[in-house]
Structure 1
């Protein structure tokens, strides 16, 4: 299988917002308790945070993290999680039918995020609560002092306010499963008034309004139109959510769901443009894809479990074991976000630890990287800069969700300051290697700095506590540069990260 591809230094898509590689963590299952926080763990620090998990998080260089939910936030009282821990109430979490001890609240989570060097993106409860509660929460978090809520924070030992600029206006409010579910117009008006109140506290705040919970919702994409018609001028982003799986055991169709995601982004981009034109608005609204991941291995089983269990505390929930096939999919999906970075400015892998997550941590035991950790890490480390258009000419296939799908999934990022181009390449063919000829037009030089590859594994191969590195990247071979062209072979079902030094020269 021969594939020709090309890029041109001047054919740019967009500058990539670093927040494209953000994450999400919710008070759900063992994401918080025995995930990031386990006071009795041998590797816990003085504040109860797991140092082994923190180290794995730091290695991802995550720019921002969405917290505290998710479905959890739609019935959450943030006041329950502040003040002396021995005085905090235990509440029933209606979203996941479990007990919430409130031992981790905003101040503890902010401390953890600071240690992880991650900026917080906070969500407010617009399900069971009101604009007033959202305003109070924001005042507690961001106001310096001299008011009831800011002085309450100071009385809790936090003198300096948190510089939180990103605020999510509820979660999945289109979903009938959501506590406080609302119709589009009703929610849009509430979001508009809440956004105005938050921006009155700090004009630099960015607000994120809820779009569709997924592109299969019966109200999609009219939900986005109706909501934005109510709040367009006061919001900065609209959120999209989408989870993926291969329950039909059709690998090529699974991979093609990336194309489906591209159509989703394109459709909502069109809705944004329509509403902007209709309202004669001057501001731009971008997409915050703040929940995405593979979720199907335990989805049906756990759905039955949590709906019937008797309010456990921090139960095992949605702890997916990701395989090599999932890693290839995640690599391609991150490529799609790079290719759509003119629209998608923020994206959050959901979630970060234990619950549908790239990091797993046993209670009282080990922590390890799942297979999907690696493509997420490589994109975060090397996918910052200018997204370049990549043209691919090679064999394609048709399947249920899309036609004319390229076997080569490719994205390219130019870091002008460092003088590098990074190619992210996935050969999706099940059996054939790809003979690659990739032209780097507009550059006068190129040499390989680093080549990492994930290949040669079975599609169902996983990592685990007894085999934490069973599926991991290694140094690659077989790709080189001749006359500013990348040439070589990509094995079937393989993922490559090729970092090139291109200097700063430009062809005249």
Structure 2
């Protein structure tokens, strides 16, 4: 049996968890909107057309922010098309995904949905086929009280109070040749700077996310971030990172080792941000918005067969298995370990499209990746402690990969006199259990409150509508504390949530 030792010091703090790290994403893509969150002709929907079953699962997931309306979709989007009387809204071709967009769901419907779903908007502006003027107009529509053309238009559409959206993305993946309005780093940096300047003239309190690289593996990675931030450093508050992983080679150890690549990606972008900060002699730091991340590959062959110019097709509908859930847990752990700089993150996406939630006309169910996200979102609030794991490693294409991915989060609430320490851990060994120990004598009075385990003998096991509970967590863990030392046996291929509370 392999042995791992966690070293954690209650006074060695990485940073406070920004709850927006547990964000998600809804794009006008496939069935994410139509038949996902919105299906007005369904008996499962409310009077607004919003799926009640989906909304319940979103609330349970604990998503504090949702990015909208894209994604590639936003780079050709006219936001006005999705406002006003529905019978007057135009149907448009949508070249990003080769479909027809009906515009029956738009900005105001999204704001109504976020309010009911207990989340907040992260709105993206079109810097592909549009630019600063359009960003000015949508911000005026959303955030001004009234007395101007676009704010009065919102009022005429039935929304007296401003939406008051404070978090905005300056376009999407503008480094990608697949993007409508693709730009060079300098071209994008200039338009991002001018768009940001105009937006902050209208509302100085908005936070702006500049586009970083669409992937660590873009040829322009590094130079892109440096050039973009050199142009828009004063206007940007965050720079984005996007990354998806796959197991096309059917190499599970290599697949789970992608947490190493993700850590390297984050560290590299932090270094570039700080280099530009030093070069420009600035006081503020640029933080990171990892606003697209997930596993994505299961549906790619199926998507090649789609007929173009249809409406809301079954597109990017990955059916996730147990090994995908292990990597999703590891990716969240990796972002938490950088909580001082990763302030926003969006699991892409939320419903039906590479998503934790799936729907049919008769119901909704949780995919395997739903569970690690929901558990870490629920219990990963507070202060991330610097967590060092003395653990065996194995070789992968990124170097050495640890068999154990782990992080500790301390949540002490003086007002309610509650205190909890949570350990998140993934044992990536596919055959052997792991003996875990951790000296917690600094946490006097803490006892194991709960040890939740997500595991399954079959790495390819998946939840479906007919078998929705095939892969799900249980509270059957064996963690205990004796003499201030925590010990636990982590079974092979498993995700663990060990909750300790002060007695």
For this structure pair, what is the TM-score category when the shorter chain's length is used for normalisation? over 0.9
Query: Which deviations, in whole Å up to 9, do the C-alpha atoms of 1:161-185 show, x marking residues without a partner?
Result: 0121100000000000000001110
Equivalent-residue separation in structure 1 for 2:150 and 2:300 (angstroms): 40
Looking at structure 2, the residues matched to 477 and 378 of structure 1 have their Cα atoms a distance apart, in angstroms, of 15
SS at match of 1:234: coil
Alignment of 1:283-294 (within 5 A): 283-294=284-295
Rounded Cα–Cα distance in structure 2 between residues aligned with 1:297 and 1:88: 34
Question: Which residue of the partner structure matches residue 409 of structure 1?
Answer: 405
Residue 88 in structure 1 maps to residue 89 in structure 2? yes
Which runs of structure 2 are paired with 1:25-36 in the superposition (5 Å)? Answer: 25-36=26-37
What is the match of residue 386 of structure 2? 389
CA displacement at 1:402 relative to structure 2: 2.6
Q: CA deviation at 1:441?
A: 4.5
* Structure 1 counterpart SS, 2:396: coil
Check conservation: 1:9, 1:440, Cα contact below 8 A.
Answer: no
Q: Give secondary structure in 1 for the equivalent of 2:261.
A: helix
Q: Unpaired segments of 5 or more residues in structure 1?
A: 504-508
What residue number does 2:41 align with?
Answer: 40
Q: Does the 8 A contact of 1:324 with 1:457 survive in 2? A: no
Aligned to 1:161: 162
Paired with 2:391 and 2:136, the residues of 1 have a C-alpha distance of 54
Give the secondary-structure state (helix, strand or coil) at the position aligned to 2:103. coil
- TM-score, normalised to structure 1, is 0.97
**Structure 1 partner of 2:450:** 450
Question: What residue is the counterpart of 1:495 in the other structure?
Answer: 495
State the 1:109 CA deviation: 0.6
How far residue 416 of structure 1 moved from its aligned partner, in angstroms, is 1.6
Aligned to 1:305: 305
Give the CA deviation at 1:42. 1.6
In 2, Cα distance between equivalents of 1:165 and 1:88: 27
Report if aligned partners of 1:335, 1:409 keep a CA contact under 8 Å in 2: yes
Look up the match of 1:349. 347
Q: Which SS does the other structure have where 1:305 is aligned?
A: coil
The answer to whether the 8 A contact 1:213-1:242 is kept is yes
Residue of structure 2 in register with 1:374 after alignment? 371
Matched residues in 2 for 1:330 and 1:484: separation?
31
Report the Cα offset of residue 440 of structure 1. 1.9
Contiguous gaps of at least 5 residues in structure 2: none
Q: How many Å separate the matches in 2 of 1:374 and 1:397? A: 26
1:23 Cα offset (Å): 0.5
State the shift of 1:391 in Å: 1.6
The 1-side partners of 2:227 and 2:391 are apart by 41
Rounded to whole Å, the distance in 1 between the matches of 2:485 and 2:163 is: 48
1:7-26 alignment to 2 at 5 Å?
Answer: 7-26=8-27
- Scaled by the length of structure 2, what TM-score is found? 0.98
Once the 2 structures are TM-superposed, how far is the Cα of residue 300 of structure 1 from its aligned partner?
A: 3.8
Contact 1:260 1:402 in 2 (8 A): no
User: What number of residue pairs does the alignment pair up?
Assistant: 498
RMSD of aligned Cα (Å): 1.0
Paired residue for 1:325?
323
